[in-house]
Structure 1
């Protein structure tokens, strides 16, 4: 193939994703527990989150409106 000919692609970009396909966006946890909120950690939103379970502390959820 010379420099004036273009290479034909199969519609995939270099990352292996199809064009037009939406990238996966992680789900957002609706509310973080008090510990994760105070330490600014990623809370998984379970009844006892992984951060509290790892530290063996109670996992307490308080709505944001109730804090004020």
Structure 2
């Protein structure tokens, strides 16, 4: 009963069906980094905007 598969294709899933891994923000702002919060990486992130504080990104 091995006639249904060609060699090397048993149980393998096509590359297109792999689950997508969410991309990480390359850098968090100082507030999010200090509080260990998820930063959305926008010029003024949602956490800083909600608190009304300046959103500061330091160069690495």
2:30 is the counterpart of 1:30 = no
Q: For structure 1, list consecutive stretches of 5 or more residues without a partner in the other structure.
A: 1-18
Q: List, as ranges, runs of 4+ consecutive aligned residues in structure 1 with deviation greater than 4 Å.
A: none
Q: For structure 2, list consecutive stretches of 5 or more residues without a partner in the other structure.
A: 1-12
Q: Tell me the distance in 2 between the aligned counterparts of 1:63 and 1:54.
A: 23
TM-score (norm 2): 0.70
Identify which of 23, 38, 53 aligns with 1:42.
38
TM-score (norm 1): 0.62
Identify which of 45, 56, 59 aligns with 1:60.
56
